[in-house]
Amino acid sequence: NAGVMQNPRHLVRRRGQEARLRCSPVKGHSHVYWYRQLPEEGLKFMVYLQKENIIDESGMPKERFSAEFPKEGPSILRIQQVVRGDSAAYFCASSPTGVDGYTFGSGTRLTVV
Amino acid sequence: DAKTTQPPSMDCAEGRAANLPCNHSTISGNEYVYWYRQIHSQGPQYIIHGLKNNETNEMASLIITEDRKSSTLILPHATLRDTAVYYCIVRVAGSNYQLIWGAGTKLIIKP
């Protein structure tokens, strides 16, 4: 999965804390997507962003979750007041066109204790 | 809900061809079939995609039936490193960026 960098790889948070997940897309890609994966399940779409814009956040919970992709710097998925049910692997993908050529990162595994 | 159906698991002997089936009976005329795989603890990796013609690349071949209701991914000479979960995905028409993932097929390559 060279190109899309996600950090941290593993993140442990206590209930009620905030989690910040970072994603640096492939150089030149301006489309970023976040997916969540629970154990033994496929990925679930959360949000699609282009530089400075949220295009589709239909898969993201209305409360506690937010995402941004600023003009400079990585995309950030932010989860406030984490609960045990937020424990999952979060994957970021980027694309040059928004339609094809998706490249995925290695994911961030969030554990809420 | 996923628009595809895959067997939950399959075994294949190392060096043999691995044939992974996928049913997508409700596929629309302008929807492509994509295959990704996910090796343990890694992000998904693109393998191949097609519309109606058979496709081949350096990783695999994709055979799509004439009625497009099913397809088969073929790994011609499976190696132990091909052990992974393989996902067959039909791209949502009109929302091209949103991939809908099922549970996939866990392929185990045995020595």
Measured between CA atoms, how close is A45 to chain B, in angstroms?
7
What's the whole-number average pLDDT of chain B? 90
pLDDT at B40: 87
- Facing residues of A37 across strands? A43, A89
DSSP per-residue string spanning B21-79? EEE-TT--TT--EEEEEE-TTS--EEEEEESSS-EE-SS-EEEE-TTSSEEEEEETT--
Of A46-60, A87-101, B4-18, B96-110, highest mean pLDDT = B4-18
- List the single residue in B with minimal CA-CA distance to A101: B46
Q: Which residues of B touch A91 (CB under 8 A)?
A: 43-44
pLDDT at A2: 55
Measured between CA atoms, how close is A105 to chain B, in angstroms?
5
Contact B101 A42 (CB under 8 A): yes
Q: Which residues of B touch A45 (CB under 8 A)?
A: 98-100
- Give the pLDDT band of residue B92 (cuts 50, 70, 90): low
| Percent of chain B whose predicted confidence (pLDDT) is above 70 | 93
Residue A38 backbone class (left: φ over 0; alpha: ψ -120 to 50; beta: rest): beta
- Give the pLDDT band of residue B16 (cuts 50, 70, 90): very high
